[in-house]
Amino acid sequence: MLLFEDTDVIETLQKQFALYADNFPIWSEHGTGIAQFAVWTALAQENVGASLQHYNPLIDDDVKKAWNLPAQWKLRAQLPFGSIEQPAGEKTYIDDETSFRVFK
């Protein structure tokens, strides 16, 4: 699965709402991020394995050429999916105390 943003849509919104123009690329990133998460979660709920990848911009031109895609489509992520052949490997994480702060 390939996930894109249409930069023409972003630019149109920037023109329509000039006061917020600088924010539309940021909001678009937020939107595509949550879409990536939602699709990955939906696949996981159906016991379909997936691996969210970000090989941009290394593959962007080849992908557009292979599928004859519009220039204004910006590739944001790739999500190969299929059967789960083995459980995911163990991962280490930053401690919550380092990653999060609670202010009282």
Asked if the structure places residue 81 within a domain, the reply is: yes
The angle that helices 7-16 and 24-45 make with each other, rounded to 10 degrees, is 140
Q: For 76-85, write each residue's pLDDT tens digit.
A: 999 999 999 9
Number of Cβ within 10 Å of residue 18's Cβ equals: 8
Asked if the structure places residue 100 within a domain, the reply is: no
Asked if the structure places residue 18 within a domain, the reply is: yes
Residue 22 has a pLDDT of: 98
Residue 88 has a pLDDT of: 86
Q: What mean pLDDT do residues 45-66 have? A: 95
Domain residue limits at 24? 2-87
Q: What mean pLDDT do residues 65-89 have? A: 95
d(CA 77, CA 32): 9
Task: Let me know the angle formed at the C-alpha of 52 by 49 and 53, rounded to the nearest 5 degrees.
Answer: 135
d(CA 59, CA 54): 9
